[in-house]
Amino acid sequence: MTKIKVIGAGLAGCEAAYQLAKRGFLVELWEMKPQKFSPAHHYEGFAELVCSNSLRSDSLTNAVGLLKEEMRRMDSLILRAADATRVPAGGSLAVDRYGFSDYITREIRQNPNIEIKSGEVTEISAGEPTIIATGPLTSEGLTDVIGKLIGGQSLSFFDAAAPIVTKESIDFDIAFCASRYEKGEADYINCPMNRGQYEAFYQALVEAERIPLHGFEDSKVFEGCMPVEVMARRGEMTLAFGPMKPVGIYNPATGRDDFFAVVQLRQDNKEGTLYNLVGFQTNLKFGEQKRVFSMIPGLEHAEFVRYGVMHRNTYINSTKLLNRAYQMKDYPNLFFAGQITGVEGYIESAGSGLCAGIQMARMLSGKEWVDFTRRTVLGAMACYISDQTVRDFQPMNANFGLVEPLEQRIRNKKERYGMIAQRSLEKIEEIKRQMDEGGV
């Protein structure tokens, strides 16, 4: 039987290995620990949680909560471990970090279909079935190998992303659609400011708390992509003459063009449900981003589905390289999973590993992919990382803006998300039935 190589025993790699092994495939799971550790990892166990023991919301009216329930129903090892080692955390799923890692390590090591290989991988064969799940801190040697493999589709080494909000949460009594100098078809959403609003925003921005860089990061994270708060500190008018300049912008509904400053938002997904704040890459703490950016007229009640980040993060330009199965378009035997694909977050990484493992198993069995569709969060993430229409591809957390909208408009957000969750879980149950009937 074909033996499948899975590189990386983080959450994505362990989930992918488990999904393959339970379907009868033999797996070589490669992990460079304990011979070599990344700068952020210290524990010898698999699936080490580095930043937090919280796996975020467990509510079905939250996208990541729904994602977790989808994964539970698809028999996720990661979710089984999380549920077995959870600690009190209100509405969130938090775990005993070492207990969580030990549980997964034990399950993987005791699985007769999984062979553990220790050491750093520095070669990849395009003809050998392989899932690359090496995470955002992929070793330098393997990074070079991946870089050569993907050719001109370069790896990103620093994640510099602006916040993203849902279109439906923007107040269009204030904001308006228009392009600068009327170029394009009103491609931007514009949030205008008078002088008083700008000065208050500027003061809050320069005084806001920033996230300290980790030991494995340095000032190079800011080269060529300056955080908006750093730019603001260069002078009170720097933003007004930079990313917030109002020149060439007028409101077609009122004819006004006498704005002191304008924050522009650009469409971030094909469906037009998500918009990013142009030029607002930032290193502010998430709570500070919510506080300060909600001062922007029109964004007072904005729903932030991703906050801005600037940190060390190795990921590939998946929209050009991968399809919805997390499979390389040019090398069908090679799949990617985890944060290296551009999904952001522990649960999202594990979810991509679950999908990659299932899809690899189906390919090797001569079966078609499982189409999770954009009605599920699992499918919506796979669609996002493979969507060639996404401009300036950046890592993304699970959020309802990626999921296919309901056909009917429901204003109550909790009710709307509840109906999306119900539809999603019905789809998951349908997929499970089809897989049980067809095997694999």
Domain 164-310 has CATH 2.40.30.260: yes
- Asked if 249 and 259 touch (Cβ cutoff 8 Å), the reply is yes
Instruction: Judge residue 116's burial from the number of C-beta atoms within 10 Å of its C-beta, 0-12 exposed, 13-18 middle, 19 or more buried.
Output: middle
Q: What does the block give as tokens for 118? A: 């220790």
Structure tokens at 129: 């079935």
**117, 30 in Cβ contact below 8 A?**
yes
What pLDDT score was predicted for residue 220? 47
pLDDT at 40: 57
Q: Half-sphere exposure of residue 261, counting CA atoms within 13 Å on the CB side?
A: 22
What's residue 17's pLDDT?
Answer: 98
What is the rounded CA–CA span in Å between residue 429 and residue 439?
15
- Angstrom distance (rounded) from CA 307 to CA 305: 7
Q: What residue ranges do the domains of the chain occupy?
A: 3-155+316-438, 164-310
Which among 60-69, 117-126, 388-397 has the top mean pLDDT?
60-69
Per-residue pLDDT of 176-219, as tens digits, reads 999 888 776 677 899 999 999 999 999 999 999 988 765 544 44
Mean pLDDT value across the chain: 89
Q: Is the fold of 3-155+316-438 the same as that of 164-310?
A: no
* Residue 197 amino acid letter: Q
CA distance 424 to 68: 12
Cα–Cα distance between 349 and 367 in angstroms, integer?
Answer: 24
Long-range contacts of 224-229 (CB under 8 A, 24+ apart): 225/158, 225/160, 225/281, 225/310, 226/281, 227/281, 227/282, 227/283, 227/284, 227/310, 228/279, 228/280, 228/281, 228/282, 229/205, 229/282, 229/283, 229/284
Give residue 271's pLDDT band: very low, low, confident or very high (50, 70, 90).
confident
pLDDT at 350 over 50: yes
Tens digit of each residue's pLDDT (9 = 90 or more) over 70-89: 999 999 999 999 999 988 77
pLDDT of residue 147: 87
* Pair of tokens at residue 146: 């991946």
pLDDT 10s digits, 383-405: 999 999 887 788 888 999 999 99
Of residues 355, 311, 344, the one with CA closest to residue 164: 344
The values of phi and psi at residue 236, to 5°, are -60, -30
- Does the pLDDT of residue 440 top 90, yes or no? no
Q: Distance (Å, rounded) from C-alpha 114 to C-alpha 181?
A: 60
Confidence of residue 112 (pLDDT cuts 50, 70, 90): very high
304 — pLDDT class (breaks 50, 70, 90): very high
- Per-residue pLDDT of 232-242, as tens digits, reads 999 999 999 98
Cβ atoms within 10 A of the Cβ of 183, count? 8
Least confident of 243-257, 300-314, 376-390: 300-314
Q: Which CATH fold topology does 3-155+316-438 show?
A: FAD/NAD(P)-binding domain (3.50.50)
Q: What is the pLDDT of residues 44-64, one digit of tens each?
A: 899 998 766 679 888 999 999
Query: CB burial class (10 A; 0-12, 13-18, 19+) of residue 313?
Result: buried
Q: What one-letter code names the amino acid at 220?
A: K
> Quick check: 92 and 54 in contact, CB under 8 A?
yes
pLDDT digits over 128-175, tens only?
999 999 887 777 788 888 888 888 666 666 666 789 999 999 999 999
Contacts of 243 (CB under 8 A, 6+ apart): 228, 231, 263, 264, 278, 279, 280
